[in-house]
Amino acid sequence: MSGTFPDGDLTDDKFLCGRLHLLQPARGYRAATDAVLLAAACPAGAGQSVLDLGCGAGAASLCLAARVPELRLAGLEIQAEYADLARRNGARNGVEMEVFTGDLAHMPRELRRDFDHVIANPPWYPPGGTASPVEVRAQAMQVRLPVGDWVAAAARRLAPGGWLTLIAGADSVPELLAALAPKLGSASVLPLAAREGREALRVILRARKGGRAAFRLLAPLVLHQGAGHDGDRESYTPEANAILRGGAALPARFG
């Protein structure tokens, strides 16, 4: 592999109502609302360090940087093509971000340090679970390591008192919670429901290294208004609209 996508295979996509412009492959894995929600849920403060595990084209880190100034960003991405895009996207949006190519099982030496925050959006399809004919898209979406391994890798990289913020399928919650001990606690899970009364298919988990507070299952964040799709309109709820378009933070929901 060349390690980069040809320019003719890329689209230039707007995030946060145009505050960010991200290059993404037209036929590869493409970041969307999950990356924005993940960034909104991270409680990072100005000047803190953030490690993005499986950073893809950098969408979550750059959405976070659009809200929080002077972050020290680092990313780990197993696919060289996406790592290259993350570097390019950081530069074209004026955000400094170190991006390393590698995987969780063999993390680059440069990342073996403590971070205030770790964020992650692990793949959610089992091997063979996506029919995508595009190899880089299929690789980005298919599970290679159990989600518990992502939690363990994050725990190793977090400084004492640091926060893990992770978005994943709702069916992974038992495995996520089982993976927290002994290093992570004070966990909260926020279900993400497409509409009022719908089953949550995704969740956001937050947990703290060394945290001892009781587990909390939060009220769902409902993303869309109405009972079903209404034409071409996205029909976001006011709270979802403030996050997905305005770049608002989610931490207030976590208390």
CATH code for position 74: 3.40.50.150
Q: How far does Cα 37 stand from its chain's mean position? A: 8
Evaluate whether residue 1 is within a structural domain: no
Residue 45, Cβ density class (10 Å: 0-12 exposed, 13-18 middle, ≥19 buried): exposed
161 pLDDT higher than 50: yes
pLDDT in tens, 76-112: 999 999 999 999 999 999 999 999 999 998 899 999 9
The number of distinct structural domains making up the chain is: 1
What radius of gyration, in Å, describes the C-alpha atoms of the chain?
Answer: 17
d(CA 8, CA 254): 42
**Residue 255 is assigned to a structural domain of this protein:** no
Identify which of 33, 21, 38, 20 has the alpha carbon closest to the alpha carbon of residue 224: 33
Q: Is residue 2 part of a domain?
A: no
pTM of the entire predicted model:
0.91
Q: Domain residues for 245?
A: 7-250
Helix (H) or strand (E) holding 242: helix 238-244
How far is the C-alpha of 79 from the C-alpha of 81, rounded, in Å?
A: 6
Rounded to whole angstroms, the Cα distance separating 113 from 250 reads: 27
- What is the per-residue pLDDT across 13-25, written as a single tens digit (0 to 9) for each? 999 999 999 999 9
